[in-house]
Structure 1
Amino acid sequence: MAATTHTVSNQPPPLLGYDVFGADRVLGEAVERHLPAEVLDEARQGLARLGRSAGSAQAASWGAQANENPPVLRTHDRYGHRVDEVEFHPAWHRLLGHGVGAGLTAAWDRPGGHVRRAAGFLVWTQAEAGHGCPLSMTHAAVPALRAEPEVAAEWEPLLTSRAYEQGLRPAGRKAGALLGMAMTEKQGGSDVRAGTTRAEPLAGEGEYLLTGHKWFCSAPMSDGFLVLARAPDGPTCFLLPRVLPDGTRNPFAIQRLKDKLGNRSNASAEVEFDGTWARRIGAEGRGVRTIIGMVAATRLDCVTGSAALMRQAVAQAVHHTTYRSAFGGPLVEKPLMRNVLADLALESEAATVLAMRLAAAYDDGGESESAFLRIAVPAAKFWVTKRCASVVGEALECLGGNGYVEESGMPRLLREAPLNSIWEGSGNVQALDVLRALRREPLALNAFLQEVGRARGADHRLDAAIRDLLTELADLAGIEARARRVVERVALVLQGSLLVRWAPPEVADAFCASRLGGDGGAAFGTLPHTLDLASVVERARPVEH
């Protein structure tokens, strides 16, 4: 009957069968800019392979299947034995295995390792975001483990391996391992020092038994977990293996899996410890300081993951409006739609450029760059993750009713978008962290000012924004209540300075006019009409160049 009543026309083709990396001019330029010459060709080839996989119909199918078939908790086997296992759809394992095989847990101590990994994480997250959690945790655990060299020597080769082996076995019998994290408790939330989980020392050096609960345990199917517990001398970091070396299960009772808004392919759990064996990482009472390195690395992944969601949303919006006609012509050519798309593209480019600049600072590792990260990471985490939901929601609207339908993939992006603003500390936590750095670490403020100062004189609106920010920072009265305003300005000034230095003039001009110069509204699509918006949109088009 359909063939006689109507024909299908004016429907855009699916955005599939393309190289996600090769089609992203902004990311490609960042890789060229930040990677050492000796590894650039190899990195580009690897990212192109990953980009083709991420843009394939196969990866799209895996992503849909993993979200349509969320993980299932099995507390007991058929005989009544407690097993506490989380079962995933095969598509999840294929996504996760592909990410591990692409080196997304192997950045440390490699030339340009963090830039290469951040670019890969940004590309592969566009296929499906939920499995990025165990990839991020495993990658970020390395600096924390290095506080205990003997433990690091045992676990680090497994965490940075490109071999993915599912199933619970002693980590030493696997070619690769994953690490999760369990810090948050019911009564504490972000205040991890309020934890009540107890750690009783054993006779063996660095060995303890843990008793307590964790309200959020990330990636509960992992081979091990970094955990905070209260030892005799205070909050301490521990490595808790899921399976003991002799093959017996470490007491690790999964009470339930969280029923979440998004991130549904990934498991988050409530767990109980009852005489659970663990190894101390770092000194007793220094647990929070020990995990700082892990927290900073996962916060960077929050920025990169949000940049990935923005990029995919904008790519879908530009693709759709290019092929969809209305009111006499392609939507992308309509002045108001072009304004919306250009505004979204600005936000996406600013997020990508900032994420890759932070990754490059990690690779540098020098005193100045480390000080810069102390302010830049929480500021970027605060701002970029908050902008993500707005960008994805507006991009969805560009598809009209089609964007509200699950088959488009846009609803999944929208459900995923708020997560990174909550994970590893919500907005207030990030804003207050920036204030602590400003008050206590003068090297951090100096490094930040040096960074934005590299663009001084290139745009009068940026120069004025820097002056205004310094005025804000000079007035400490009531600054905690103004923290969000201050940190928003920190992030925008930083993004503006990077775009002025590295983006095409039309992009930098539009960003500075709308984000720093006040010539733009709160809604997307309010850019000054006199700007070169067509070039901004064309730059965001997901085609290989």
Structure 2
Amino acid sequence: MPPRRPIAQLPTHEVANTPPHLGDQDLWSQDIVLQEGVLREGAAGSVAKLAQFGKDAGRAEVMEQADEANRHAPELRAFDRYGMRINEVRFHPSYHALQDLAVSNGLSNHAWRNPGPGAHVTHAALNYMLNQMEGGVMCPLAMSYAAVPALRTTPDVAEDWVRGLLSQRYDRRDIPASEKTGLQMGMFMTEKQGGSDVRANSTQAVPDGAGYRLTGHKFFCSAPMSDAFLTLAYAPGGLSCFLVPRFTPDGARNRFYLQRLKDKLGNRSNASSEMELQDTWGILVGPEGRGVRTIIDMVQGTRFYCAFGSAALMRQGLLQAVHHTRHRAAFQRRLIDQPLMQNVLADLALETEAALTLSLRLGRAIDEAEAGDARAGKLARIGTAIAKFWICKRAIQHAAETMECHGGPGYIEESPMPRLYREAPVNSIWEGSGNVICLDVLRALHKDPETGEVFLEELFAARGGNRDFDQALARLQQDLPSMVANPASARHLSEQMAVLWQASLLIRHAPSFVSDGFCSSRLGSRWSGVFGTLRGDAVSRALVDRVASV
């Protein structure tokens, strides 16, 4: 039966000049930048899979499930009816439906199940598409993906857990891991007194037979219904990494206690909790005293998610804004044909393309590093921090501007825009806020000078392609030593590295109207950072049509 149209002829007026429902989106075939990037960065073998998932994930039903999962936030059920601890978090059925869609398509483990060229590029592309519809469900997927390298540092632990993490079956049951068909992994590192300074942690770990007993607290534990968690605690040999399962080896519930769920600004479909540990059983991962070193690869993985996740929010926000302005008229012209609105949309499109292009290039660097390319490993190391800082920062302003393109209708909760807007800041905060990330960029340059050489080599590939770029690159080369020596300039340095990297990629791979528009606006002397301030000759309807063909 065809869908019934809403009533437009109301008692006092006729509803007119309003956009039709966007309906199903094809997140692959309507995204030429994604298609080009996947092919360019070595993942051509995944096109069929990505094309099918783009249709599945873009259904209007998925967007509705995302709305429901955020409207009906998770609820903590700490005790059963008899007053005994169960530490249960209940989710809306839509959350489980979204998790099933994600896990069955390998969004938490594609890269590890399909090692080789294009693995992490494909992984990013899959998650990029679903993240456009809903960001909250991505948190356990990101942590499950990122946990695998840390677990593999300890083969005995990896043998028991990695197989379950590589499953493509979503098993929501709260039972021991050995009885489940698929597993998810969480992590909780930060404590009240330390935050990002994990060496200020106070949780203690005491050896107990084959394991340890942990006592302390953790202030942020996202996805607390995960089957196990990676955490940090002080063992006799120093700060160490531990795996804490929901159930102990004898099948009993582990002794940790969910205190409350966080009432967060956004990311509301995902549960985040505070947790107390009291003689909680855990397994050592990596050697004692090397906890930070053990989890560093996990942190790299989750920061990668933050980067392409923020790029995804930009993409969906732009799609919604373009759809609205194409179907809404004011002052006898469609909004999209108004010169100033076209300037705003074109500028948003430039930012959207640059964010995705950088994310996919980073995915290829990770692929090459996994294959043993040491120089690619250095680029991936510093590039993850650069991309995480800049793309996540820009996504916040991008979300505000795309919301404003709708006017008042974009500000009400029936619109998807408030959810995108609330989601944007979490990626900038999670896994290291701006200062932490920028200082990490300095740390990478200090620790290994070759890292800076590798990064500059990446930029040099675009020399001669644009005058603004060449001049900005020369300034970076000149100023780099002094900025590396001055922590107060870490943000400025990270921004310059990010924008120049994006410009370099666009010069090499995008049409000239894209790269020239980006370079003239971002690298010239007049850039204010405000969207919609492109020079008149840089404003092009083609920019909008290229990135947002809805």
Report the TM-score, using the length of structure 1 for normalisation: 0.97
Q: How many residues align?
A: 537
Give the aligned residue type for 1:102: N
Which of 70, 74, 81 lines up with 2:73 in the alignment?
Answer: 70
Given that residues 462 and 512 in structure 1 are in contact (C-alpha distance below 8 angstroms), is that contact kept between their aligned partners in structure 2?
Answer: yes
Structure 1's unaligned 5+ residue stretches are none
Deviation at 1:57, TM superposition (A): 1.7
- Tell me the equivalent position of 1:90: 93
Give the aligned residue type for 2:92: H
Give the aligned residue type for 1:67: N
Residues 373-408 of structure 1, C-alpha deviations (whole Å, 9 max, x = no match): 121111111111000010010000001111001111
Please show how residues 337-416 of structure 1 align to structure 2 within 5 Å. 337-365=341-369, 366-416=373-423
Q: After TM superposition, what 4+ stretches of structure 1 lie above 6 angstroms from structure 2?
A: none
- Identical columns (%): 51
Give the aligned residue type for 1:209: R
Give the aligned residue type for 1:87: R
- Tell me the equivalent position of 1:294: 298
- Tell me the equivalent position of 2:57: 54
Which of 26, 31, 35 lines up with 1:19 in the alignment?
Answer: 26
Residues 505-545 of structure 1, C-alpha deviations (whole Å, 9 max, x = no match): 101001000101234333211000012511111112233xx
Whole-Å separation in 1 of the counterparts to 2:413 and 2:305 = 26
- Tell me the equivalent position of 2:165: 159
Q: Is the partner of 2:260 in helix, strand or coil?
A: strand
Whole-Å separation in 2 of the counterparts to 1:164 and 1:36 = 26
Deviation at 1:47, TM superposition (A): 1.6
Give the aligned residue type for 1:332: I
**2:32 matches 1:9:** no
Q: Is the partner of 2:488 in helix, strand or coil?
A: coil
Which of 261, 275, 280 lines up with 1:276 in the alignment?
Answer: 280
After superposition, the CA RMSD in angstroms is 1.3
Given that residues 314 and 345 in structure 1 are in contact (C-alpha distance below 8 angstroms), is that contact kept between their aligned partners in structure 2?
Answer: yes
Whole-Å separation in 2 of the counterparts to 1:59 and 1:493 = 36
Deviation at 1:330, TM superposition (A): 1.2
Given that residues 54 and 124 in structure 1 are in contact (C-alpha distance below 8 angstroms), is that contact kept between their aligned partners in structure 2?
Answer: yes
- Tell me the equivalent position of 1:134: 140
Given that residues 349 and 544 in structure 2 are in contact (C-alpha distance below 8 angstroms), is that contact kept between their aligned partners in structure 1?
Answer: yes
Q: Which moved more, 1:276-285 or 1:439-448?
A: 439-448
Whole-Å separation in 2 of the counterparts to 1:271 and 1:492 = 39
Given that residues 258 and 269 in structure 1 are in contact (C-alpha distance below 8 angstroms), is that contact kept between their aligned partners in structure 2?
Answer: yes
Give the aligned residue type for 1:110: P
Given that residues 521 and 534 in structure 2 are in contact (C-alpha distance below 8 angstroms), is that contact kept between their aligned partners in structure 1?
Answer: yes
Deviation at 1:245, TM superposition (A): 3.2
Whole-Å separation in 2 of the counterparts to 1:165 and 1:518 = 54
Q: Which moved more, 1:276-285 or 1:167-176?
A: 167-176
Residues 332-370 of structure 1, C-alpha deviations (whole Å, 9 max, x = no match): 111110000000011111100011111111111110110
Q: Is the partner of 2:254 in helix, strand or coil?
A: coil
Please show how residues 380-529 of structure 1 align to structure 2 within 5 Å. 380-476=387-483, 479-529=486-536
Whole-Å separation in 2 of the counterparts to 1:98 and 1:214 = 30
Please show how residues 202-217 of structure 1 align to structure 2 within 5 Å. 202-204=208-210, 207-217=211-221
- Tell me the equivalent position of 2:4: none
Which of 317, 321, 325 lines up with 1:313 in the alignment?
Answer: 317
Give the aligned residue type for 1:510: G
**2:345 matches 1:331:** no
Q: 1:375 to 1:331 in 2, by over 3 A?
A: same
Structure 2's unaligned 5+ residue stretches are 1-6
**2:193 matches 1:190:** no
Q: 1:177 to 1:333 in 2, by over 3 A?
A: same
Whole-Å separation in 2 of the counterparts to 1:64 and 1:385 = 22
Deviation at 1:36, TM superposition (A): 4.5
